[in-house]
A and B are shown apart, each in its own frame.
Chain A
Amino acid sequence: MKTFLLNLWFFTAFTVCGLCILPVFLGITLIDWLVLPRCAAERRLRLRIHRFGRFVIWLLRPIAPVVREGPGWAVSQTSSCVYVSNHRSFSDPWLISQLPRGAIVQIVNQWPFRIPVLGIVARLAGYIDIKGMTLESFLETGTRLLLEDRAMLVSFPEGSRSPTGKPKAFHGEIFRLIKQTGVPVFPLVFAGNSRTPMKGSLVLHPSVIRMRLLTPITEAEYRGWTAFKLKETVRDRIRLASDDMEGTVCA
């Protein structure tokens, strides 16, 4: 009963607020696209998505408060970087809004682009459809975003949710991009949200969502490594943190 009422509250609030915010959101986006250069319009849209994501996570608090932990939050990152995360739930892309800086580009599969409204917004914000491009064009686009636009990238290299909770094998494209650009990589670990919501369902089960941001791996550390070793190192650190988080109760 409690879960039902909490879900009723969240989806009602989300729908009402979404319908109120959406026209303003789309109106500003349209004006930006008419008067600003493309990269500036994209950047401003990413910042708006970030703020909207924070609002959605704030709405979610009665069901699933978010706890931030780990040494990565204390690192003041002023230049571009890449966040590499495990993938536990549909809520992961929304939780990205908890990261400190806003102009974030998410690297996603094709399916998010097919979600009504959100898909169009993601495309306008310059989100990267990793399945829809060659490795060469991904590296070219990623390099431009990181080195020229000074954007932050977020990648879920498992590609899809792990059915067991253990991180699956990682796809390697993002690690080749990191090696090519020399930017720091932050391993980001989600726990507690695998039922918020579960795969194939929209029901949000009450839980505490934990986001652990690990110490970044900088170019000084990974310079002599292959992209494969970087990938495996990040995956190992995420796996260890995930095991630790799933095995412990949040204070």
Chain B
Amino acid sequence: MKKLTEQEIVETVNEIFGEVFELNAARLTPDAKLFDDLGLDSLDAVDLVANLQDRFNVMLRNDERVRAVRTLADVYALVNNLQNELENEQATTAP
């Protein structure tokens, strides 16, 4: 999978929020808190993780860092980090 730029990650994550939670784009600011500002609960978080996994082809379900996510900016950063880790992993295992 092609590595996405930070801007592409932001757009794709926002797209997921728009599709899965039908949230207006105006509410999707980086400092928006997922639970307090956007109204997500633990069940919605499970849906979010599943959609992030599908869309970015990363594994999040057992990742402890998910628990530390509070804002939309945290989601962007987490996906970006996971993508970088995946790229490094592929680079080291490549022949």
Contact = CB atoms under 8 A, between A and B. Distances in A.
B43 A173 contact: yes
Interface in B19-74: 20-22, 35-36, 39-44, 47
B22 A172 contact: no
A171 B42 CA distance: 8
Interface residue tally on A, bucketed by range = 10 to 19
B43 A170 contact: no
B40 A169 contact: yes
A228 B41 CA distance: 9
Nearest to B35: A169
A169 B36 CA distance: 6
B22 A228 contact: yes
Contact of B43 (A135, A232, A235): A135
B39 A170 contact: yes
B20 A232 contact: no
A228 B20 contact: yes
Interface in A172-226: 172-173, 176, 225-226
Interface string A5-43: 000000000000000000000000000000000000000
Contacts of A144: none
A46 interface: no
Contacts of B40: 169, 228
B41 A226 contact: no
A171 B39 contact: no
A231 interface: yes
A229 interface: yes
Of residues B22, B40, B42, which shows the largest number of chain A Cβ atoms within 10 Å of its Cβ?
A: B22
5 contacts: A172-B44, A176-B43, A225-B22, A228-B22, A229-B21
Given A169-B39, A228-B22, A228-B47, 17 more contacts: A169-B35, A169-B36, A171-B41, A171-B42, A171-B43, A172-B41, A172-B44, A173-B43, A226-B22, A228-B20, A228-B21, A228-B40, A228-B44, A229-B21, A229-B22, A231-B39, A235-B39
